[in-house]
Amino acid sequence: MIDWQYSESIESPEIVSIKKKYSNYIGGKFVEPKSKKYINTISPSTEELLSKVPLSNEQDINSAVKAGKEGLEVWSKLTPNQRSRYLFKIARLIQERSREFAVLESIDGGKPIKESRDFDLPQVAANFFYFAGWADKLDLSWATKSLKPYGVVGQIIPWNFPLLMLAWKIAPALATGNAVVLKPAETTPLTALLFAEICEQAGLPPGVVNIVTGDGSTGSLIVNHKDINKIAFTGSTQVGKLIQKSLAGRDVGLTLELGGKAANIVYEDAAIDQAVEGVVNGIFFNQGHVCCAGSRLLLQESIHDQFVKKLEKRMQSLRVGNPLDKNTDIGAINSKEQLDKITGLVNEGVEDGGELFQTQCELPGNGFWFRPTLFTNVQPSYSIAREEIFGPVLTTLTFRTPEEAVEIANNTEYGLSAGVWTEKGSKILWTADRLDAGVVWANTFNKFDPSSPFGGYKESGFGREGGRHGLLSYLKASS
């Protein structure tokens, strides 16, 4: 008999050199924070201290916005073709240093190297390439000359796809002729600071991209800065609402990419094995730290038992562990705080009466981990069926008719994404038309491309990122 002993395959962290302490990147220079304060960034898979990054205060944000205004002066005087070339150059440099970024992303954020290497980084480069080509074609994009850049844009991004969210924000902003002040998330600042080196390498004019680190207080300083012309935020609906409120009455543009609670609808005539794969990818990709995760599985009643059985079997084969192991499917939960939130909601789900299934796997001793989790026998009123868990937790609901499936799917204040599984084309189109969601994946899930617009309906925010539509988030229509 063959011994199927597991042998690990660890990506070497040697390629990355993490400094003991980092500086902000303002006006083309790495500058120590005037606040003289720092925050620790740790590896969520080992809890080891990795480095310290600035906790930027008002003076730091003032410098960054001032540098942004100066950068804008230079940037707006370049020809569109020159702006395009800078973006192409950045894209190339990212490709060249791709492995270094991927390893750093996995160390700082906890996501499996398989995903940072094969998904995040290729997408990062692709976003810069895609928007590079728009920079000198804006006049063709929406057939109107009334669209102008905002000016200095404040961008606040989350910790789930740190560098990819940076690319989603910076690439279109620069392509449309804006300058940016970007704040990466508190727990995942390192790849953004490494990206600053790319800006330097590309010879980007000083001040066009400014990167400042910090916590929520730093983000709030950016939002409330008097010289900011637009805010682009990706994060929770709760914080998005606060930002919208802070900007009330001010002539500042805003786009919000907020939370979600996507329904993944599986009809009885779906290709079941493919659907199981898709559902697994839909919720367990990136530890479920995905705003568009397919966190509500809607199963047609007739296939419920068969589907759940297959799903549990497939879940059992997911490998949880060291993010740098190339075999790892599910890495570390990003932070202790997030782990506590997931644990709290799952406990609530059990108390409410949900039936819990968790895979039996060994978890590492240190770090933050959560087993792939499935709830069945869930009522739509349970918190686990309503609130965004942002973790590897799937809840299952059932329906009888397509009308009922759509009603349940839309019965949420969110409207970011949805999935539909059926082999019947007309049913896909019928369902997709009726779902209140910015992205509908039919017989697939969690697919992304820089040319494909992404963003939500309702309380999932407004504005789109990616594609021709994504340009509008950084262009102001003047009448």
Partner 1 sequence: MIDIKKTYKNYVHGKYVRSESGKTYTKELKNEVYELPLTSKKDIRDAVTSSKDGYKKWSSTTPYLRMQILYRLSEMIEGNKESYVELLMDHGLTKQKAIKDIDESIQNIVWFAGLADKWEQLAGNLNPVSEEYFNISHQNPIGVIFSLSGSDVSLNELLMSILPSLTVGCSVISYSEENSVLALKFAEDINNSDFPSGSLNILTGKFENILNDVSKHVEINLVALHKELGNDGLKAIEQNASESVKRIVSKPSIEGLSSILPYLETKTVWHPKGT
Q: Which are the contacts of 41, defined by CB distance < 8 A and separation ≥ 6?
A: 49, 50, 51, 52, 53, 108, 186, 187, 188, 189, 190
* Cβ nearer to partner 1, comparing 199 with 437: 437
CA distance 427 to 89: 44
Per DSSP, the residues of 314-330 read HHHTPPBS-TTBTT-SB
* Cβ nearer to partner 1, comparing 121 with 330: 121
Question: What is the token pair recorded at 216?
Answer: 């929520």
* Cβ nearer to partner 1, comparing 111 with 464: 464
> Which position among 11, 105, 199, 291 bears the catalytic label?
291
* Cβ nearer to partner 1, comparing 84 with 373: 84
CA distance 6 to 249: 60
Q: How far is the CB of 283 from partner 1 (least distance, A)?
A: 17
Q: How far is the CB of 249 from partner 1 (least distance, A)?
A: 3
Q: How far is the CB of 184 from partner 1 (least distance, A)?
A: 24
Query: Number of helices and strands (H, E) in the chain?
Result: 17, 19
DSSP single-letter state for residue 12: P
Q: How far is the CB of 206 from partner 1 (least distance, A)?
A: 33
Read off the amino acid at residue 319.
R
* Cβ nearer to partner 1, comparing 185 with 256: 256
> Which position among 115, 257, 388, 459 bears the catalytic label?
257
DSSP single-letter state for residue 15: G
Question: What is the token pair recorded at 237?
Answer: 């609906």
Q: Among residues 214, 171, 166, 12, which one has the least CA distance to residue 104?
A: 12
Read off the amino acid at residue 90.
I
* Cβ nearer to partner 1, comparing 20 with 145: 145
Place of tokens 């019928």: 430
Q: How far is the CB of 362 from partner 1 (least distance, A)?
A: 35
Helix runs in 285-401, H state only: 304-316, 336-352, 383-386
Q: How far is the CB of 58 from partner 1 (least distance, A)?
A: 23
* Cβ nearer to partner 1, comparing 254 with 346: 254
Return the CA Rg of the chain: 22
Q: Is 292 a catalytic residue?
A: no
Q: Is 291 a catalytic residue?
A: yes
Measured at the CA of 196, the angle between CA 192 and CA 200, to 5 degrees, comes to 165
> Parallel, antiparallel, or unpaired for β 29-31 and 24-26?
antiparallel
> Parallel, antiparallel, or unpaired for β 417-421 and 393-399?
unpaired
Provide the binding-site residues for partner 1, judged by CB under 8 A.
126, 142-144, 146-147, 237, 240-242, 244-245, 247-249, 256, 258, 413, 428, 432, 435, 437-444, 447, 449, 451-455, 457-462, 464, 467-469, 472, 477-479
439, 425 Cβ separation under 8 angstroms = no
Q: List active site positions.
A: 257, 291
